[in-house]
Chains A and B, each alone.
Chain A
Amino acid sequence: MTAKVALLNFGGRDYSLPVDGIRHILQEPELFPLAGLCKGLAGVFLFSGEIVPMVSGDILADGETGGCGKNSYTIVYQSDYGSIGLPIEAAVRIVESQDGSFREATAEDESAVVSHFFQYREHNYPVLDIEKLLTLLSI
Chain B
Amino acid sequence: MRDMIDKKLVFRIAEVGFSLSLDDLVEIREAGAGVLDRSAADPEMGLLGLISYRDEAIHAINVRQRLGLPAPESFESAYVVVNGSDGVWALPVDKVEGIFPADQFRVCEVPLLLRMHSALPYQTIQVWHREPLVGFEPLALEQVGAAR
Taking the complex as formed, is B73 at the interface, i.e. its CB lies under 8 A from any CB of chain A? no
Q: Are B132 and A82 in contact (CB under 8 A)?
A: no
Cα separation A137 to B117 with both chains bound (whole Å): 7
Q: Which residues of B contact A137 (CB under 8 A)?
A: 113, 117
Seen from chain B, the residues whose Cβ lies within 8 Å of a Cβ on chain A are 13-18, 67-69, 106, 108, 110-114, 116-122, 125, 127, 130-132, 134
Q: Looking at chain A, what size class is its interface with the partner chain? A: 20 to 34
By beta carbon, the residue of chain A nearest B114 is A53
Interface locus among A13-21, A33-41, A60-68, A94-102? A33-41
- Is A34 a contact partner of B134 (Cβ separation < 8 A)? yes
Check A34–B113 contact: CB distance below 8 A: no
- Is A33 a contact of B15 with CB atoms below 8 Å? yes
Quick one: given A33-B16, A36-B121, A46-B130, are A82 and B112 in contact (CB under 8 Å)? yes
Kindly identify which residue among A34, A38, A81, A82 contacts B125, using a CB–CB cutoff of 8 Å: A34
Q: How far is the CA of A15 from the CA of B10 in the complex (A)?
A: 41
B117 touches A38 (CB 8 A): yes
Identity of the chain B residue whose Cβ is nearest the Cβ of A139 in the assembled complex:
B117
State the Cβ distance, B78 to closest chain A Cβ, in Å: 18
In the complex, the answer to whether A37 meets B114 with C-beta atoms within 8 Å is yes
* Nearest-Cβ distance from residue A45 to partner chain B, whole angstroms: 8
* Contacts known (A46-B127, A46-B132, A51-B108); A35 close to B113, Cβ less than 8 A: no
Cβ-based interface call for A48 (8 A): no
A114 an interface residue at 8 Å Cβ cutoff?
A: no
The verdict on A52 contacting chain B, using a C-beta distance below 8 Å, is yes
Listed A/B pairs (15) with beta-carbon separation below 8 Å: A30-B130, A32-B131, A33-B15, A34-B114, A35-B16, A35-B18, A36-B121, A37-B118, A41-B113, A44-B111, A51-B108, A51-B110, A51-B127, A53-B111, A137-B113
Contact B117 A82 (CB under 8 A): no
Q: Mark A102-137, 1 if CB is under 8 A from B, else 0.
A: 000000000000000000000000000000001001
